[in-house]
Structure 1
């Protein structure tokens, strides 16, 4: 009887095992091969950065947006409502590098737009490269490449993953906005040369001459067409989400008595650096969208099953913000017009690549502060800082305290750089000098916090401004003492907005995803800028950028 039960049980188990094996496809069968080779990656990834975009621009202007731009991304895609930069300084160069490398200046090395290079003893620009020359311009000012960025971008990793078959193209009015996102191995990066030229250019880092499609675009005089009157898109009286048009907090353009609409760009051109005036108007974004659409065809992006990468930075929002401030009619009009440019760009992607064939994300490189002179009128603590005065005081203090001249090499980017040859010659301990300066600077009016090199290298900060300073501190390139200004206190003119701090007005930036492989929804869970590149890498199934420290956002991906 027992033997019979075991025989029955064995037969049942054998049957179950056979059925279990039957659901697994044969590795050599066509079915297995088909499942294995299904391509879930988009044909094109478009990474967009809106320069100086605060998150609240999405909500503040939401009711005035059309259905095909920002609203389309929110409606069809995923909105990360609590997205922040997790380092300082919040500037354009570090911002673009961090978005696409998935890490912070601590690792990618772009510690500012400009910084003091203590090895060459001179200031350097984040994208400058004396070993290359401009292509499309004779200017000596346009010698640019990504060589100062130490790590790879997600676009680089896509190039490596596809055996260099996937293209990578970067586009922006600003050179650094085009160059840093596209990465080291890009097929091309193109930026706008204003002045008396009004053309899109590149450098010999990428190629020896402009491709035909770029030359054709330049020959079309498209830039010339934007030298026209900039007036509000709608009745200015309907612009209720911004302050009065005439006020004391805006700079405006040379040659126009007041910073008020309308602006005749053609008549103001000669007094405002020629074609550069387009950069400082809403039309700079329209010109960028025109060029990006031309690039889709010109570079045959998204035309096959191998993923291509297009990075687009809309730079004019930053120029307008710096000139007129975050509460201006000009900034409101710029975003209403950008919304229409985005709709036009998305429609072009739908038609040229296919609505289900591309993935796009949109974020910013930093936010911006309200004009402090305006904040003062509504009794919010704010102010203006004079760096040169502090620099002189630091050098005087150090000379009197240590009885040695020349111990400080430079005060730059809210950092103090030591002259180590002078320290060594006079047997002065660097840590003692750090502590002395830190204590002195902290007593100075408008200084909120001070950190020494020793603190940032030896300690681990997990929250607050200290953590942001540490993630922005590069062991090799940064200085020896770092100071932080009071909230809403800036080194800038009394008109217009700026950025750079670790406060929410500078760190809280939009993050929208849309397209193939992206869920529909939103979250208020905190996300950070370095999370973007790992998330896109996971979508594509490729290796993360080699210095990436961000996390994949699983709730974004299908």
Structure 2
């Protein structure tokens, strides 16, 4: 009997082990987490893209660009920036780090540095040298960005095997998204060259495929007439072509189609003129396609990251405004550039093997002079007059205007050492300036750094200011203009505020791991990086404050 029980137990144990082995074998035969990841993630930023460009120009788009992303992917229709200031540098940094200037430290495109007592540039780095050109334009790196990007986390997760390449017309649009560990970042040097360049932060010489591209004559091929792609009479989604609200190009009397770029280039920075036309986006698409082949991106099971920033939309918007024929034509042409880029991804990486997201670094305001013509409250702030009035007040109240070190980016920086010499209390001076400035025309709100550091705001522009406030880097006073009032010229558009016209931007996902759908739930720009980290199965960027948008996953 004991023998029989022993045999029975042994048989049961053997069957149990076999069952566990079968389960184990079955689990290993399933798709592994590595196989579930896309071979390539492409992060696209369209500089100065308002959300309503998706809807306004929808009928003009083809099926393979913006519409493909909407029809095959997921559309977040209520996506916003959750901080001030809405500029290019902090915008790109926030998209890819999942956090705000409060943490990543990119305070603007340029900002006043309280340590060096000088203005600094978000991507500027005097410790590196230019690669591809003999000038300062290549002295760039992400060293001022304090946190990691999701591309950095991909590199760390893959033991530095997954590649990261950043591409843009603008240096900051290439450098900041690619992060600290990127294999390369490339940006466009116009002037007399029309080349893509880099810095010694990444390499000591350009790869052969980049040299080949630069020597191909591609930039020169775009020095041609810019006319509307379709009959201008069909451009019903924008204002009249000839008006008083647009800048235009030097050498041409009117800001109206067509533009002969070859004849205008000598008065508009040579190849730099391409930046302010849709052809600047086209050459970025050309270069991104060349990078797919040159860097063999997405050709193995280890995920690569390609960041592409289309910046010419911003130059065109600043020059001609958000209601111009020029901006409409620029987006119609960008749609076609996206289509051929996606088609190339299909052929080189393979449908179902890559994931793409598309968003913007900020949006833009309607030209205030145009709004005024329609009796909508809008206008312009004279920053020189503001400084003059504030200086007069300081002389009267404290006997010295020298207590101000700098005024920039809607902030006042005080000289703390001078305050001590004069025996003045910092908080009392701050409060006095707030009480003074709030009475200035078209100044809507004014706050002290002390308030930003000690109070907690959960809504309104105050909360946006606080997420953009960095205790070590921000000024002593922060001020906000009235809606649609800007410190800018009377022609063209700009951005920077916390109002919907600057914060509401597209957010589209499509490709591997993304389902088809849309939402009107509020999403925020800082949710993008955690979403991509969750899709790829690794740690969020180290300063990320956003949350994964789990409803976009398939």
Q: Which residue of 2 aligns with 1:86?
A: 82
- Matches of residues 242-281 of structure 1 in structure 2 within 5 Å? 242-281=238-277
Contact 1:26 1:32 in 2 (8 A): no
Aligned to 2:307, which of 300, 308, 311? 311
Q: Which residue of 1 aligns with 2:522?
A: 526
Superposed displacement of residue 123, structure 1: 0.5
Q: Which residue of 1 aligns with 2:476?
A: 480
- Matches of residues 108-123 of structure 1 in structure 2 within 5 Å? 108-123=104-119
The alignment partner of 1:416 has SS state of strand
The alignment partner of 2:337 has SS state of helix
Aligned to 1:535, which of 531, 534, 538? 531
Contact 2:168 2:186 in 1 (8 A): yes
Q: Which residue of 2 aligns with 1:149?
A: 145
Q: Does 1:34 align with 2:29?
A: yes
Cα 1:117–1:26, aligned 2, differ >3 Å: closer, same or farther?
same
Cα 1:301–1:31, aligned 2, differ >3 Å: closer, same or farther?
same
The alignment partner of 2:241 has SS state of coil
CA distance in 1, matches of 2:472, 2:107: 10
Cα 1:518–1:120, aligned 2, differ >3 Å: closer, same or farther?
same
Q: Which residue of 2 aligns with 1:12?
A: none
CA distance in 1, matches of 2:93, 2:268: 29
* 1:36-81 alpha-carbon deviations (Å, 9 max, x no partner): 7342110000000000000000000001100000000000000000
Contact 2:137 2:189 in 1 (8 A): no
CA distance in 2, matches of 1:182, 1:26: 44
Contact 2:90 2:109 in 1 (8 A): yes
CA distance in 1, matches of 2:236, 2:124: 42
Contact 1:89 1:472 in 2 (8 A): yes
The alignment partner of 1:79 has SS state of strand
Contact 2:452 2:466 in 1 (8 A): yes
Q: Does 1:212 align with 2:205?
A: no
Q: Which residue of 1 aligns with 2:399?
A: 403
CA distance in 2, matches of 1:398, 1:23: 85
Q: Which residue of 2 aligns with 1:492?
A: 488
CA distance in 2, matches of 1:114, 1:29: 56
RMSD: 1.7
Contact 2:165 2:182 in 1 (8 A): yes
Superposed displacement of residue 393, structure 1: 1.7
CA distance in 2, matches of 1:469, 1:421: 26
* 1:283-309 alpha-carbon deviations (Å, 9 max, x no partner): 100100000000001011000000000
The alignment partner of 1:311 has SS state of strand
CA distance in 2, matches of 1:319, 1:117: 26
Q: Which residue of 1 aligns with 2:291?
A: 295
Superposed displacement of residue 398, structure 1: 1.6
Superposed displacement of residue 197, structure 1: 1.1
Superposed displacement of residue 35, structure 1: 3.2
The alignment partner of 2:198 has SS state of strand
Superposed displacement of residue 142, structure 1: 2.8
Contact 1:25 1:31 in 2 (8 A): no
- Matches of residues 4-43 of structure 1 in structure 2 within 5 Å? 25-26=20-21, 29-35=24-30, 37-38=32-33, 39-43=35-39
Aligned to 1:413, which of 380, 386, 409? 409
- Matches of residues 158-197 of structure 1 in structure 2 within 5 Å? 158-197=154-193
Superposed displacement of residue 207, structure 1: 0.3
Superposed displacement of residue 22, structure 1: 9.9
Residue-pair matches, total: 542
Q: Which residue of 2 aligns with 1:102?
A: 98
The alignment partner of 1:270 has SS state of helix
Q: Which residue of 2 aligns with 1:237?
A: 233
Superposed displacement of residue 141, structure 1: 3.2
The alignment partner of 2:350 has SS state of coil
CA distance in 2, matches of 1:98, 1:188: 20
* 1:99-156 alpha-carbon deviations (Å, 9 max, x no partner): 0000000100001001011110100110000001110000123311100001000000
Aligned to 1:138, which of 117, 134, 141? 134
Aligned to 1:346, which of 342, 352, 362? 342
CA distance in 2, matches of 1:23, 1:381: 77
Q: Which residue of 1 aligns with 2:440?
A: 444
Contact 1:83 1:511 in 2 (8 A): yes
Q: Give structure 1 regions of 4+ aligned residues with deviation exceeding 4 angstroms.
A: 21-25
CA distance in 2, matches of 1:405, 1:262: 50
CA distance in 2, matches of 1:294, 1:521: 32
Q: Which residue of 1 aligns with 2:360?
A: 364
Q: Which residue of 1 aligns with 2:8?
A: none
CA distance in 2, matches of 1:474, 1:205: 26
Aligned to 1:423, which of 410, 419, 426? 419
CA distance in 1, matches of 2:51, 2:23: 51
Q: Which residue of 1 aligns with 2:65?
A: 69
Please, which runs of 5 or more residues in structure 1 have no aligned partner?
Answer: 1-16
Cα 1:466–1:272, aligned 2, differ >3 Å: closer, same or farther?
same
Superposed displacement of residue 28, structure 1: 8.4
The alignment partner of 2:552 has SS state of coil
Please, which runs of 5 or more residues in structure 2 have no aligned partner?
Answer: 1-11
Superposed displacement of residue 25, structure 1: 4.9
Cα 1:23–1:462, aligned 2, differ >3 Å: closer, same or farther?
farther
CA distance in 1, matches of 2:32, 2:435: 62
The alignment partner of 1:494 has SS state of coil
Contact 1:66 1:340 in 2 (8 A): yes
Aligned to 2:462, which of 454, 462, 466? 466
Contact 1:25 1:32 in 2 (8 A): no
